[in-house]
């Protein structure tokens, strides 16, 4: 559990690691810290790094449907959960129902 530091989700919670928030524009302009914090709060995509044993364990899960797993890129509800920093990484503790989609890897196109 090295990616999630010392956080272990309980009940129906999951832990999502957020992508690094940009602090400098591509042109080299420094973004004010207040803006960086707002962008971090508005983030809706990250990597699922830990799940509680009860997460996604509903009785009526559709047969054949894929459940989110550790390592998946996921979309989640804006402003959902608790935002925290551990070991220099920003994490969000969310209810499993706040996960709205798994981001599939794009299919590479072959050149003709």
Q: What is the DSSP string of 60-71?
A: TPPTTPPPP-TT
Beta strands in 9-81 (DSSP E): 13-18, 45-51, 73-76
d(CA 42, CA 36): 10
- Would the pTM of this model clear 0.95, i.e. be above it? no
Q: pLDDT tens digits for 63-74?
A: 788 889 999 999
**What pLDDT does residue 110 have?**
61
């Amino acid at each position: 559990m090295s990616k999630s530091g010392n956080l272990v989700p309980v009940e129906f919670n999951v832990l999502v690691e957020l992508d690094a928030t940009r602090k400098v524009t591509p042109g080299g302009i420094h973004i004010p810290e207040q803006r960086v914090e707002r962008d971090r709060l508005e983030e809706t995509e990250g990597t699922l790094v830990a799940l509680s044993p009860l997460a996604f364990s509903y009785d009526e899960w559709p047969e054949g449907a894929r459940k989110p797993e550790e390592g998946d890129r996921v979309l989640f509800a804006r402003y959902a959960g608790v935002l925290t920093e551990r070991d220099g990484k920003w994490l969000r503790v969310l209810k499993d129902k706040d996960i709205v989609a798994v981001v599939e890897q794009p299919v590479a196109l072959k050149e003709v």
